[in-house]
Amino acid sequence: MIIAVCSLSGAPGVTSLATALAACWPSTPLTVPVMVEADASGGDVAAWHSIDPDQNPDAGLVSLAAASRAPLQTTMTPQDRTQGDAGETPSAFTPLLRHATELPGGLRVVVAPADPLEAGRAVDVIAQTPTLLSSGRVTIVDVGRAVPGSAGAALLRHADVAVVLTDLNDVGQAQRLRACAPVLASLRQDGVRIGIAVTGSCPHNDAEVSQVAAQIPVWSRVPWDESGAALVRGQHRPAARMRDRLAAWWARRGDPESLEWMPLIKAAKALSELCDDFSGVGVGTSVARPARRPQEVEAA
């Protein structure tokens, strides 16, 4: 199952949401979520977590792009293929995980280089041969900004689920959503489920947002959350405001390890559960899907 997270313009926090979504995914020993940082403008996760790409050249987006040039069966051992046919392949042995770096806390991320030229070339290769993105059980793809005609926009058509993050307090992003909504809605013809995540304080209700967005549903409200954003950047700090301290205390009464007092984490958990539910109603299952069209999302 592939879940793509993108924006249409601006920087509303796509990487933060994608990271939180992967971290909150209801995983099992056989379903290890992997986040792929496929942002053609360059990656942030390596800088956030002080990852030196030179220490492990066999991991990362560039390595994944190189592997995607070869047929999938050549990147898997015979034992992997045999187990995969039986539906018992442990996620720890899927080809995608071989290119991932494990962050503190256990999240696996295929990090993108900071150089936009290098990242852009890698995303372009993966968009043309996206087989490895589906080699994991659950793949969260951080597309970044879906620039018209870009390889990142093309990745949306290879997803099972697409989440468009937008800040409707920004007039430019609101106009962009209205203009691009019909093209985004056309992704449904390729079997892609698509929904909107609204960030910030939006005065419009879900029905109003959906009405101007070609009836694309609103799946999530993601409040601005400094504590949650710091957490996904590897800078977790205790709650500072009285309201946050009270929320943390209340949440930990039921679960001492709970982080759901952070609005970002709470919203990401609810969104991950919604997307996971889709896998039981046709997405990511053996149900036949329309053939993917090769053209890119020209107005996304």
CB 2 within 8 A of CB 161: yes
- CA distances for 176 relative to 10, 145, 166, 213, angstroms: 10, 12, 9, 10
- Name the nearest CA neighbour of 21 among 207, 200, 197: 197
CB 4 within 8 A of CB 156: yes
148-159 pLDDT per residue, tens: 778 888 899 899
Q: How buried is residue 194: exposed, middle or buried, by Cβ count under 10 Å (0-12/13-18/19+)? A: buried
- Name the nearest CA neighbour of 114 among 174, 187, 54: 54
Region 87-96: mean pLDDT is: 50
Domain extents in the chain: 2-278
* pLDDT confidence of residue 259: 66
* Higher pLDDT among residues 228 and 284, named by residue: 228
pTM over cut 0.85: no
**Reported confidence tier of residue 247, pLDDT bands at 50, 70, 90:** low
CATH class of 2-278: alpha beta
Region 275-285: mean pLDDT is: 63
Taking the CA atoms of the chain, what radius of gyration do you get in angstroms? 19
Any idea how long the chain is?
Answer: 300
CB atoms within 10 A of CB 156: 24
Out of 16-20, 174-178, 205-209, 245-249, which region has the weakest mean confidence (pLDDT)? 245-249
State yes or no: pLDDT of 214 exceeds 50: yes
Sheet bearing 218-222, strands edge to edge? 101-102, 108-110, 33-37, 138-145, 2-7, 161-166, 193-199, 218-222
